């Protein structure tokens, strides 16, 4: 897999941008639960008041507040506040405008304004002031004040009790001796210290709200403004998340598509370089599957991979840190339960499905192979009326693939319902545990909601990792199959130091003790082949089926390499020259005429698209193709369908011959290329070809004696060995093998007429 991913270097900067955007998205996603918590805790429950520190407080309330503090705390609190004088500072104006409005005149030395202090100092002040604010709220609350007065007057005489009951609690506290007052306040303080911090903060904030109301602050507006601002901030963050997510998907798709293109190019370039040995190791169907389906698996993985490799860890780790720092970590065990449940489900499915992934790709290969064989041999199937048999064979391959797919899909389809069940169960568990904590004052409702969001984010991160772990094995199988093609060592390749052809021996072909065996074969197909083909002469090769005729000519352009002896062209061993230079001087016409989709013109000009029309038409005329070309509506512009399926076998052969003639090479090689031609066309073609190839080397493989009777040299092969070399007349006299082949096709009288026309 890593070898495949190295091809991403072409998209390096796109990958960098994706990583940056994923970090941005992860950070914004992690920020949203905090805002949810703030809207609930501060915006709704606290009325938009963020801390237990009043930004403004009347002198009267400040004096009352200081009653509940000792001298040291008095100084700490007053050091952070300043009385508004006749000329307020900019900071004071800003605070007064925020809470009281711009057009309100504040009486000198009647309101305290909080100074600009650091966050650390705010935390210290909040802890110092929370207790006194609670005590002040209790004193000012009628119900709690009456309870305290009853406790104070519990053992007093009736007349004194009535007098004290007629006074406010604050007046009673002020009138108390200092020692008694301190003792009473100490009791209050000890009870407050036992409370949870969250309860103390909520109570202190409620007290701050009452302080603001006394000053005439519009607390409803304060609350609405806070919720509105927090909502707008959430909307902004959500917009950043949306833009990042869309950009990531676009870039990921582009990177994946580019990687797919790169891999297809590499596979195709490698296959183009394959010799027949490598092509025999991979079936055509398998190579097509590897170039399409396997690469598609990699593309799908890459689209998800970045989100998992970068995004999921940030969300998972970041969410866990947020839970531990921003919420009560006593509920962290719930996240552990969720993660273990997800891993158990995915791990179980992974073990069940994993072995089936490789089988899926193998079965896809098999289906493609069967389909290709059937489509290629359709005419034979119809001729033998074997449609039902082939349908059954295709059905068997199709059903095997279907059953494996169904098994995999059924197993995978169970995953999402199970995981959703886990996520919903975890959510219920959080609400149940969190509800008890809220009731006990351990945590706030907003914190519980944030905890739910963080937990879902963490579970989703692990879910994404799990999903990729399911995709990864199948993609890994595909990557391995792609690498098998790309990393296959090509058996026929150029040497580092290559030679040039000897111009003095132009067109000379020499077989010297040449032997050949197919890869992994036990016996030699050819052995001790010795002959020379000279320019200006036609050298023919004939023999019974399986004697090795086509194998001999396939050695010339190095479709295979000789395994013994040496093969020289233009005086140089063909292994010492470049394959391009070698194939440039050979015009090869294969046994089966192959045409490419395009036009007649593009097929004839295949060797050189810039060749003149005159040269193209001359080649077509020599190949006896002009007659049927001129009958076409669009002449040379007539379309040729894939594989030349819209022309006959004879026309296909003539166009293949015309393509080789138009190339005008030094050496012509015809591998039984006249078999589909009638005798008249064959004769005309050879006659026209003789004029064109007067100074060329012509090597013809043929089954028909009439095609090679006029050759200057005829090579007779039998079971991979040369059993005769000579002219037609010489071989008829001295070679029994040749004589038997000849007499099986023509009469003695016809054979006696040289030229056989």
Taken in order 254, 260, 263, 269, the sign of the CA dihedral is negative
Query: In angstroms, what CA-CA distances link 320 with 325, 352, 691?
Result: 9, 31, 87
User: CA angle at residue 666 from 663 to 672, to 5 degrees?
Assistant: 75
So what's the pLDDT on residue 541?
A: 92
pLDDT at 198 over 70: no
So what's the pLDDT on residue 757?
A: 41
Give the contacts of 204 (CB within 8 A, at least 6 positions apart): 52, 126, 129, 130, 131, 133, 134, 137
Most confidently modeled range among 5-19, 167-181, 272-286: 5-19
Question: Could you tell me the pLDDT band of residue 755, with boundaries at 50, 70 and 90?
Answer: very low
Tens of pLDDT, residues 606-641 = 888 888 989 999 999 988 888 888 888 888 888 888
Which tokens hold the place of 204? 């202190």
Are 129 and 204 in contact, with CB atoms under 8 Å apart?
yes
Q: How many CB atoms lie within 10 A of CB 155?
A: 7
Mean pLDDT of the residues in the chain:
83
d(CA 103, CA 97): 8
d(CA 73, CA 129): 9
Checking phi first, is residue 536 left (phi over 0); if not, alpha (psi -120 to 50) or beta? left
Helices 332-376 and 312-326 sit at what angle, rounded to 10 degrees?
A: 170
So what's the pLDDT on residue 276?
A: 77
Q: Which domains does the chain have, with CATH numbers?
A: 2-9+260-486 (1.20.1560.10), 42-227 (no CATH), 594-664 (3.40.50.300)
d(CA 569, CA 515): 17
Question: Could you tell me the pLDDT band of residue 756, with boundaries at 50, 70 and 90?
Answer: very low
d(CA 366, CA 286): 8
Element (H, E) at 312: helix 312-326
User: Which of 143-157, 332-346, 483-497, 597-611 has the weakest average pLDDT?
Assistant: 143-157
Helices 119-140 and 178-193 sit at what angle, rounded to 10 degrees?
A: 110
Helix (H, G, I), strand (E, B) or coil at 275: coil
CA dihedral 104, 107, 112, 114 (to 10 degrees): 40
pLDDT at 327 over 70: no
User: Which of 158-162, 293-297, 707-711 has the weakest average pLDDT?
Assistant: 158-162
Are 709 and 728 in contact, with CB atoms under 8 Å apart?
yes
The DSSP-derived string for 382-408 is HHTT-HHHHHHHHHHHHHHHHHHHHHH
Which tokens hold the place of 135? 């005590």
pLDDT at 429 over 60: yes
Are 561 and 491 in contact, with CB atoms under 8 Å apart?
yes
Q: What is the pTM assigned to this prediction? A: 0.69
So what's the pLDDT on residue 191?
A: 63
So what's the pLDDT on residue 732?
A: 87
So what's the pLDDT on residue 187?
A: 65
User: Which of 150-159, 297-306, 310-319 has the weakest average pLDDT?
Assistant: 150-159
d(CA 551, CA 519): 13
So what's the pLDDT on residue 202?
A: 77
The mean pLDDT of 577-599, rounded to a whole number, is 88
Which one is predicted more confidently, 488 or 103?
Answer: 488
Tens of pLDDT, residues 356-404 = 777 877 788 788 888 878 877 777 887 777 888 888 888 988 898 898 8
- Rg of the chain taking only CA atoms, in angstroms: 47
pLDDT at 579 over 80: yes
pLDDT at 160 over 70: no
Helix (H, G, I), strand (E, B) or coil at 291: helix
Tens of pLDDT, residues 41-64 = 888 888 888 888 899 998 888 888
Are 37 and 443 in contact, with CB atoms under 8 Å apart?
no
d(CA 214, CA 544): 117
The mean pLDDT of 457-467, rounded to a whole number, is 77
The DSSP secondary-structure symbol of 356 reads H
So what's the pLDDT on residue 636?
A: 87
CA dihedral 622, 627, 633, 637 (to 10 degrees): -10
d(CA 381, CA 396): 17
pLDDT at 754 over 60: no
pLDDT at 201 over 70: yes
Q: Which residue has the tokens 């579970």?
A: 459
Q: Which long-range contacts (CB under 8 A, 24 or more apart) does 179-185 make?
A: 181/67, 184/152, 185/68, 185/135
Please name every residue paired with 20 in a beta bridge, in sequence order, or none if there are none. Answer: none
pLDDT above 70: percentage of residues in the chain = 90
Q: Which residue has the tokens 């990699």?
A: 298
User: Which of 144-158, 216-230, 288-302, 369-383 has the weakest average pLDDT?
Assistant: 144-158
pLDDT at 421 over 90: no
Please name every residue paired with 82 in a beta bridge, in sequence order, or none if there are none. Answer: 113
Taken in order 12, 13, 17, 20, the sign of the CA dihedral is positive
d(CA 185, CA 68): 7
So what's the pLDDT on residue 161?
A: 66
The DSSP-derived string for 169-221 is HHHHHHHS-HHHHHHHHHHHHHHHHTS-HHHHHHHHHHHHHHHHHHHT--HHH
The mean pLDDT of 327-352, rounded to a whole number, is 77
User: Which of 277-281, 453-457, 527-531 has the weakest average pLDDT?
Assistant: 277-281
Question: Could you tell me the pLDDT band of residue 164, with boundaries at 50, 70 and 90?
Answer: low
The mean pLDDT of 331-340, rounded to a whole number, is 81
d(CA 252, CA 16): 11
């Amino acid at each position: 897999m890593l070898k495949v991913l190295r091809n991403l270097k072409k998209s390096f900067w796109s990958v960098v941008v994706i990583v940056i955007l994923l970090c941005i998205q992860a950070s914004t996603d992690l920020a949203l639960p905090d805002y949810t918590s703030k809207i609930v805790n501060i915006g709704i429950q606290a009325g938009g008041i963020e801390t237990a520190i009043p930004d403004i407080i009347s002198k009267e309330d400040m004096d009352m507040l200081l009653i509940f503090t000792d001298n040291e705390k008095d100084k700490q609190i007053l050091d952070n506040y300043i009385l508004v004088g006749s000329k307020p500072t900019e900071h004071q104006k800003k605070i007064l405008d925020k809470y009281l409005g711009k057009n309100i005149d504040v009486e000198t030395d009647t309101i305290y304004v909080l100074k600009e202090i650091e966050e650390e100092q705010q935390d210290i002040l909040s802890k110092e002031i929370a207790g006194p604010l609670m005590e002040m709220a209790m004193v000012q609350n009628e119900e709690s004040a009456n309870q305290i007065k009853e406790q104070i007057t519990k053992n007093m005489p009736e007349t004194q009790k009535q007098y004290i009951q007629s006074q406010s609690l604050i007046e009673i506290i002020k009138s108390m001796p200092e020692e008694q007052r301190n003792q009473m306040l100490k009791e209050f303080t000890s009870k407050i210290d036992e409370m949870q911090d969250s309860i103390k903060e909520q109570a202190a904030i409620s007290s701050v709200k009452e302080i603001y109301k006394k000053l005439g602050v519009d607390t409803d507006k304060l609350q609405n403004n806070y919720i509105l601002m927090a909502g707008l901030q959430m909307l902004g963050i959500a917009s950043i998340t949306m833009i990042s997510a869309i950009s990531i998907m676009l870039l990921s798709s582009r990177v994946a598509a580019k990687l797919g293109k790169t891999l297809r190019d590499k596979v195709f370039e490698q296959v183009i370089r394959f010799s027949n040995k490598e092509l025999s190791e991979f079936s055509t169907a398998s190579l097509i599957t590897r170039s399409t389906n396997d690469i598609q698996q990699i593309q799908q993985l890459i689209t998800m991979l970045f989100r998992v490799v970068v995004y999921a860890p940030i969300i998972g780790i970041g969410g866990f840190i947020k839970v531990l720092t921003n919420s009560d970590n006593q509920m962290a065990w719930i996240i552990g339960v969720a993660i273990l449940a997800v891993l158990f489900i995915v791990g179980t499915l992974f073990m069940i499905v994993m072995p089936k992934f490789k089988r899926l790709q193998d079965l896809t290969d098999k289906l493609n192979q069967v389909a290709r064989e059937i489509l290629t041999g359709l005419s034979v199937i119809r001729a033998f009326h074997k449609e039902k048999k082939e349908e059954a064979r295709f059905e068997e391959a199709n059903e095997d693939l279907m059953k494996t797919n169904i098994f995999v899909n059924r197993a995978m389809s169970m995953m999402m319902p199970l995981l959703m069940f886990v996520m919903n169960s975890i959510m219920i568990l959080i609400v149940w545990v969190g509800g008890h904590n809220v009731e006990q004052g351990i945590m706030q409702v907003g914190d519980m909601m944030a905890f739910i969001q963080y937990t879902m984010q963490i579970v989703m991160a692990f879910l994404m990792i799990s999903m990729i772990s399911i995709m990864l094995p199948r993609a890994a199988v595909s990557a391995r199959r792609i690498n098998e093609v790309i990393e296959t060592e090509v058996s026929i390749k150029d040497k580092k130091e290559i030679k040039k052809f000897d111009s003095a021996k132009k067109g000379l072909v020499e077989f010297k003790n040449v032997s050949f065996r197919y890869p992994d074969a036990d016996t030699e197909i050819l052995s001790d082949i010795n002959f020379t083909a000279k320019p200006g002469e036609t050298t023919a090769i004939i023999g019974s089926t399986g004697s090795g005729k086509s194998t001999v000519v396939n050695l010339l352009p190095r479709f295979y390499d000789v395994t013994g002896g040496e093969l020289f062209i233009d005086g140089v061993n063909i292994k010492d020259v470049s394959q391009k230079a070698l194939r440039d001087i050979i015009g090869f016409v294969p046994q089966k005429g192959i045409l490419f989709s395009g036009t007649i013109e593009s097929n004839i000009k295949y060797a050189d698209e810039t060749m003149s029309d005159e040269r193209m038409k001359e080649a077509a005329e020599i190949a006896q193709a002009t007659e049927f070309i001129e009958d076409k509506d669009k002449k040379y512009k007539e379309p040729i369908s894939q594989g030349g399926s819209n022309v006959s076998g004879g026309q296909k052969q003539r166009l293949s011959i015309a393509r080789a003639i138009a190339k005008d090479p030094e050496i012509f090689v015809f591998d039984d290329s006249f078999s589909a031609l009638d005798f008249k066309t064959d004769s005309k073609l050879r006659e026209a070809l003789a004029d064109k190839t007067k100074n060329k080397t012509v090597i013809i493989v043929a089954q028909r004696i009439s095609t090679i009777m006029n050759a200057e040299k005829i090579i007779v092969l039998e079971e991979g060995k040369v059993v005769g070399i000579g002219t037609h007349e010489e071989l008829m006299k001295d070679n029994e093998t040749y004589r038997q082949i000849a007499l099986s096709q023509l009469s003695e009288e016809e054979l006696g007429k040289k030229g056989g026309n």
